[in-house]
Structure 1
Amino acid sequence: MLAPVIAGVDGSAESLAAAEWAGREAVRRDRPLRLVHAWNWHPRQGAGEPATAAQRYLARRALRQAEERVRRTCPGAKLDDEQIEGPATTALLQAAEQAELIVLGSRGLSGFTGFLVGSVALGVVARATRPVVLVRAGEEAADEHLSADDGSPSTRTGYRDVVLGIDLGDPCDEVIEFAFEAARVRGARLHVVHAWQAPSRLDLGPGDIGLVNDPEQADEWLGFLSAVLKGWRDEYPDVEVAETVTEGRAQSVLVRAATGASLLVVGRRMTERPTGPRTGPVTHAAIHHVGCPVAVVPHE
């Protein structure tokens, strides 16, 4: 059986948007869709103690709302659902082990404050061994597509770019493959972005030949990027690829590049740190400040 696309739902507006996005992605990938509701234990509820009637009712209502939303907007989705008792982060991580990818909601905030990502979503992103996609409240199918000729929203136009943020110091196959596949199933262009920073004079040792602000550095990085992507271009010949190298902080470069995209793809190293799992500064910036859905792909 094919691994499903899983959406975590809790009845909130952001989780309903996530369920709808997951439905579209399941259809694109020809995968089943599974809606999962996991309720937190009440602080005084002991391990193994049955769920209350209220918890069971709220779980069923959340799943029913998500099912109705998906069936209305994605009638081609092959859909089932599941209720899981226990701490939500732990339950979703367990469900994700069997998933093609897992989709969760993030609540959009106004202005420049970015996105409020709840502790459950952050916990799943930081610990999952499968890709996690975060979707903001209000995300609609037309947001993934280019505007119509008259500027109005449309689902009949082509898809907006899939943007891949790549670290050329550590290019990871899992992250690159996810981005190429996401672009392929959409028929979208893949825009691959690398941010580089010129070393300061203090960073250069006596044997270094690099020149600060050397205009040739950008061309060198672009050549390196093209070499890294060559095998993937051959494997995905139908995917149009655009390559960009930009001097600047990776966090800022990616947030700008993802403006108007259908999906941003970033990586997260799974190595445990003494302080516990973390997302890293680039991924942290992406999931808090990028408006389009963000796919976080774990890698060794």
Structure 2
Amino acid sequence: MAMPMRPLIVGTDGSDQALRAVDWATDEASARGLPLRIVHASKWSRYDSPAPSLTRKRPAGGTVEAEHVVASAAERARARAPRVEVTTEVSPEGAARALVEESDGAAAVVVGSRGLGSVAGTLLGSVSLAVAARARCPVVVVRGELPGEPRSQGRIVVGLGKPGASPAVPQFAFEEAEVHGGSVDVVHAWMLPHAAGRAPGTEAAPEWEERQKQALAGLSDAVAPAAADHPDVPHEELAVEGPPKHILNEAAHGARLLVVGAPARTGVAGLPLGPVTHAALHYAPCPVAVVPSV
């Protein structure tokens, strides 16, 4: 008997950002041949805060409105991709908890960068941040340009850190590129203590040349398994001196997706994301995929 396909989960609260996430998830489900599951946690997004609890329940009521939110999102998804199997769920839990629970066994979870309840002045909604940090599968935060807009041509940018990083990160990037007929830019940013008067990228320094050579060698080793598994995906390996969060966000301009890593999910609430991943989620010019280590 064939095993059921893992669904693609998308969270929605009816906001414009959430509907952009529904569009992204619908296109992704269509490209991958996956079922789409649209999840709403009633009116919880209105109580969004910088540090949402994963245990508090939503306020009572709002059932009719909640059903309308998911029904409207499902209608939008079916009109956009009629062949995608779409189901809906209204959860009695808080949004972060509901989506984290849905992530168990999912292909990925997709969320918008902000929702109805985002605190004024924040760049990333707290629910999106909590899900990215705690989900048990890759999480895509839809921000910046959407695929299909003029500058998004299928290029995937993946950031790799220190040697020995999880192979799940480049594997996800190469798989995504293969699905969409795109290419992969594999980027590693490194830094040396700068001598007085020497700007980053000064190639005359022997120390710089040696460090650049080491960075490129490590990058090739890290990407080799994913490249071998997806031989038809063109890719470029780039080692660049500079602050990683700035280098990655600059490389992501015009990309379809920026892929970054996260610590392995151990079931411990509050497991922090690294500073580079945090910066990507807040400032990247395109959607960001956060892939947990395995």
Same fold (TM over 0.5): yes
How is 1:94-173 mapped onto 2 (pairs within 5 angstroms)?
94-107=101-114, 116-136=123-143, 139-143=145-149, 159-173=153-167
Contact 1:116 1:288 in 2 (8 A): yes
State the 1:140 CA deviation. 4.2
Unaligned runs of 5+ in 1: 109-113, 148-158, 202-210
State the 1:232 CA deviation. 2.2
Are 1:60 and 2:54 an aligned pair?
A: no
Name the TM-score, length of structure 2 as normaliser.
0.83
Deviations 1:25-57 (A, max 9, x none): 1111111001011133999xxx889942xx111
Contact 1:106 1:115 in 2 (8 A): no
Q: Distance in 1 between matches of 2:123 and 2:148?
A: 23
Are 1:248 and 2:242 an aligned pair?
A: yes
Closer/same/farther in 2, CA of residues 21 and 281 from structure 1, 3 Å limit: same
Amino acid at match of 2:41: A
Q: Aligned to 2:188, what secondary structure does the other structure show?
A: strand
Q: Distance in 1 between matches of 2:206 and 2:95?
A: 49
Aligned match of 1:38 in 32, 37, 41? 41
Q: Distance in 2 between matches of 1:115 and 1:142?
A: 27
State the 1:285 CA deviation. 0.4
Q: Aligned to 1:214, what secondary structure does the other structure show?
A: helix
Deviations 1:216-247 (A, max 9, x none): 32122112212222232221111101110000
Are 1:90 and 2:97 an aligned pair?
A: yes
Hey, what does 1:206 align to over in structure 2? none
Are 1:268 and 2:262 an aligned pair?
A: yes
Aligned match of 1:193 in 173, 187, 208? 187
Considering only aligned residues, what root-mean-square deviation do their CA atoms show, in Å?
Answer: 2.9
Hey, what does 2:283 align to over in structure 1? 289
Q: Aligned to 1:162, what secondary structure does the other structure show?
A: strand
Q: Distance in 1 between matches of 2:155 and 2:107?
A: 22
Are 1:298 and 2:292 an aligned pair?
A: yes
Are 1:3 and 2:22 an aligned pair?
A: no
Contact 1:198 1:212 in 2 (8 A): no
Contact 2:184 2:234 in 1 (8 A): yes
Q: Aligned to 1:260, what secondary structure does the other structure show?
A: coil
Contact 1:146 1:160 in 2 (8 A): no
Hey, what does 1:208 align to over in structure 2? none
Q: Distance in 2 between matches of 1:243 and 1:66?
A: 39
Q: Distance in 2 between matches of 1:78 and 1:274?
A: 33
State the 1:2 CA deviation. 0.6
Count of equivalent residues: 269
Q: Distance in 2 between matches of 1:165 and 1:141?
A: 19
Closer/same/farther in 2, CA of residues 81 and 278 from structure 1, 3 Å limit: same
State the 1:199 CA deviation. 4.0
Q: Distance in 2 between matches of 1:22 and 1:80?
A: 13
Q: Distance in 1 between matches of 2:45 and 2:224?
A: 49
Hey, what does 1:225 align to over in structure 2? 219
Identity over the aligned pairs, expressed in percent?
40
Unaligned runs of 5+ in 2: 48-55, 116-120, 196-204
